[in-house]
Amino acid sequence: MSHSNIQTACVHAGTIIDEKTRGVNTPVYTSTSYEYLDVEDLVYPRYFNISNAESLGKKISDLEHGESGLVFSSGMAAISSTLFAFLQNGDHAIFQKGLYGGTFNMVTKEIEKYGISYDITPDNEMASFENLIRPNTKLIYIETPSNPLLLITDIKGVAEMAKKRKLVTVIDNTFASPVNQNPIDHGIDIVLHSATKYLGGHHDICAGAAVASKEYIQKIRKTAFSLGGSLNAWTCYMLERSIKTLAVRVKCQNENAQKLAEFLSGHPEVDRVHYPGLPGHPGHEIAAKQMSGFGGMMSFELRNADPVKFQKKLKLIRPSVSLGGVETIICSSILTSHRHLTMEEREREGIRSNLLRLSVGIEDTSDLIRDIEQAFKS
């Protein structure tokens, strides 16, 4: 049964009915050894086909309006398996400006070793993608909203342009989560997630996911067999349980983030706020068309305060890495996600040293605002 309402899908999609005990939760099947005689398909965790991985893949695929889903041991496992499934020696790929630092590293440090060439767009305009297309281009990869500057790319525009040229389109939908944005509805072929973030939601799971057509997921799975980034049954269960509250968490995070972005953009100690829910954000109009909520992520630039000292003064908001959990956390991108970029690369990407990225949780916003105010004053 498919569920048209996201809150219902979060709770029920993919659940394995426990016929034996009639309990309401998906049972955890821990075996890594399965009988192989007289079966059609061999079952093994690294073949991505144990029951808990399959049911979780189904759940995430339903949330993203896809045909099929695969779960991985990290977001990077989902990203690398997908890229290597579709790209081979001699191919060319186009990546948008403003990628998550780990993806940027993989693209700039790994894929050329395998004879794959690439270009990164100078901005997120359609013409910039189009200008980079070569006869051997196979794939376009976008991330919107992007990490950490919340750049917005026109999903439908990219999907339509790519379809005309038979290029595969891939999106990292981590920042939006399936609650705020469903790129398959706009024509994108493959949706990727770092499930470590909103899908997990409690800063205690490391996982990834890919959602696409059955054919494309089968292709990714074949490559993923060899790369080996599968997810164990216990973590599948934990992630499935976490996703039950995804929609309620993200709706609260959307509301909190909007309030915080408005507060910060009016603050004398803040130079700039990057949040697509603010009317002054350059991607606001496109975001409003393709997102049903603007998400819980933002970044802002400090006017005078030293970013490290400011973070140390916060009492409730913890300076820590990762994002998407119920706790509000803050980090300096140049010291965390983008620390491996050279100064030149950071400058080109527009990531300044006074930039702080805020992952807004589900606390009461008045407490968060009070914490930020006291850090500015003390």
Residue number, nearest CB to ligand PLP: 75
Question: Of the two residues 281 and 338, which places its CB atom closer to ligand PLP in the complex?
Answer: 338
336 binds ligand PLP (CB under 6 A): no
Q: Candidates 74-82, 106-114, 120-128, 354-362 — which segment interacts with ligand PLP by CB under 6 A?
A: 74-82
Residues in the chain, how many?
A: 378
Taking the CA of residue 307 as centre, how many other CA atoms within 13 Å lie in the half-sphere pointing to its CB?
Answer: 20
100 binds ligand PLP (CB under 6 A): yes
Q: Candidates 30-38, 71-79, 211-219, 275-283 — which segment interacts with ligand PLP by CB under 6 A?
A: 71-79
Q: Which residues of 275-291 are buried (b: 16+ CB within 10 A; e: fewer)?
A: bbbbeebebbebbeebb
Question: Of the two residues 208 and 277, which places its CB atom closer to ligand PLP in the complex?
Answer: 208
> Which residue from 70, 76, 149, 211 is in contact with ligand PLP, where contact means CB under 6 A?
76
Taking the CA of residue 274 as centre, how many other CA atoms within 13 Å lie in the half-sphere pointing to its CB?
Answer: 23
| C-alpha torsion sign, points 104, 105, 106, 112 | positive
> Which residue from 57, 102, 178, 283 is in contact with ligand PLP, where contact means CB under 6 A?
102
Q: Minimal distance in Å, beta carbon 332 to ligand PLP?
A: 14
CA dist 29 and 44 (Å) reads: 12
| C-alpha torsion sign, points 138, 110, 142, 208 | positive
206 binds ligand PLP (CB under 6 A): yes
Per-residue CA distances from 349 to 125, 126, 133 (Å)? 15, 18, 21
Question: Of the two residues 132 and 206, which places its CB atom closer to ligand PLP in the complex?
Answer: 206
CA dist 107 and 256 (Å) reads: 34
SS3 301: strand
74 binds ligand PLP (CB under 6 A): yes
Q: How many residues bind ligand PLP (CB under 6 A)?
A: 15
Chain center to CA of 22: 34
CA dist 240 and 63 (Å) reads: 12
CA dist 335 and 69 (Å) reads: 33
> Which residue from 14, 69, 208, 283 is in contact with ligand PLP, where contact means CB under 6 A?
208
Q: Minimal distance in Å, beta carbon 46 to ligand PLP?
A: 18
Among residues 212, 200, 298, 211, the alpha carbon closest in space to that of 241 is found at: 200
CA dist 8 and 24 (Å) reads: 15
The answer to whether 219 and 86 have CB atoms below 8 angstroms apart is: yes
Beta bridge partners of 330: 319, 358
Question: Of the two residues 102 and 295, which places its CB atom closer to ligand PLP in the complex?
Answer: 102
Q: Minimal distance in Å, beta carbon 76 to ligand PLP?
A: 4
Question: Of the two residues 283 and 375, which places its CB atom closer to ligand PLP in the complex?
Answer: 283
Q: Candidates 21-29, 68-76, 285-293, 357-365 — which segment interacts with ligand PLP by CB under 6 A?
A: 68-76
Question: Of the two residues 332 and 365, which places its CB atom closer to ligand PLP in the complex?
Answer: 332
325 binds ligand PLP (CB under 6 A): no
CA dist 121 and 79 (Å) reads: 19
The answer to whether 86 and 168 have CB atoms below 8 angstroms apart is: yes
The separation between the first and the last C-alpha atoms of the chain, rounded to the nearest angstrom, is: 55
For ligand PLP, the binding residues in 121-150 under the rule CB under 6 A are: 143, 147
Question: Of the two residues 264 and 331, which places its CB atom closer to ligand PLP in the complex?
Answer: 331
Q: Minimal distance in Å, beta carbon 174 to ligand PLP?
A: 4
For ligand PLP, the binding residues in 145-204 under the rule CB under 6 A are: 147, 172, 174-175, 194, 196
Q: Minimal distance in Å, beta carbon 75 to ligand PLP?
A: 2
Give the binding site for ligand PLP (CB under 6 A): 74-76, 100, 102, 143, 147, 172, 174-175, 194, 196, 206, 208, 337
